Amino acid sequence: MTQSVVNVQQIEPGIVKVTMQERVHKNTFSDELTIGLIEAFAAIQANASYKVVILTGYDSYFASGGTQEGLLAIHKGKVNFTETNLYSLALECKIPVISAMQGHGIGGGLALGLFADFVILSRESVYTTNFMKYGFTPGMGATYILPKKLGFSLAEEMLLNAGNYRGAELEKRGIPFPVLPRGEVLNYALELARQIAEKPRLSLITLKDHLVSSIRAELSKVIEQELVMHDHTFHQPEVKERIIALFGK
């Protein structure tokens, strides 16, 4: 299966690679990328031969979060981020997912990666939850998954100050993920995928279901809380001004 901006390829028996390559919009969540990802994971769910997914981007981009049009639509109250549930694709996937984040993970793009079962970062890339830069509170499950995966103190800092963090800096801060030179991320992910693919598929599905069951159960409540915060914060005139100004840079 090949989408124009999402490529799905079985690279070895049991190992499927999903490559996000929305080059026009630098892997922001355009309609094409969103539809491509949803269709890709639906196809993976339906394929009984797959055992593990490698999710990655292209060049220096992993995933870059919302488009300007998408954020302005939320500001106007036309949509909300739950309409596609991109953030939960890796979490809801039956088989283990490896986020090979060889490039920048920005806003919802970072959250997308952190919901995977395994996360690999690159030293050169920028990772940020930049929601508050635009003046609205975080969504995409970021207020849950960052503390869960990175620890509360670092997550609170990243969510409140919306700063940019290179992978090398996060490594020094003690994050519990491998941080490698960009050129080594995919190879590391493939070796990890091979180790996973050695196991029986049923056992992988059963164990993942057990390990993430509490996350799946708790996430829906957090998403409701994030939507309430969006209702309070997203519709400020200043937010629209910030979205237009920041995307204009």
Q: Hey, which residues are catalytic here?
A: 230
Residue extents of the structural domains in the chain: 6-182
Query: ∠205-206-211 over CA atoms, to 5°?
Result: 95
Is 6-182 assigned to CATH 3.90.226.10? yes
Does the predicted TM-score (pTM) go above 0.85?
Answer: yes
Please tell me the distance from the alpha carbon of residue 12 to that of residue 180, in angstroms, as a whole number. Answer: 23
Tokens at 19, concatenated = 């490559």
Please tell me the distance from the alpha carbon of residue 82 to that of residue 124, in angstroms, as a whole number. Answer: 31
Q: Mind listing the pLDDT tens digit of every residue in the chain (249 residues)? A: 445 899 999 999 999 999 999 999 999 999 999 999 999 999 999 999 999 999 999 999 999 999 999 998 888 888 888 788 899 999 999 999 999 999 999 999 999 999 999 999 999 999 999 999 999 999 999 999 999 999 999 999 999 999 999 999 999 999 999 999 999 999 999 999 999 999 999 999 999 999 999 999 999 999 999 999 999 999 999 999 999 999 876
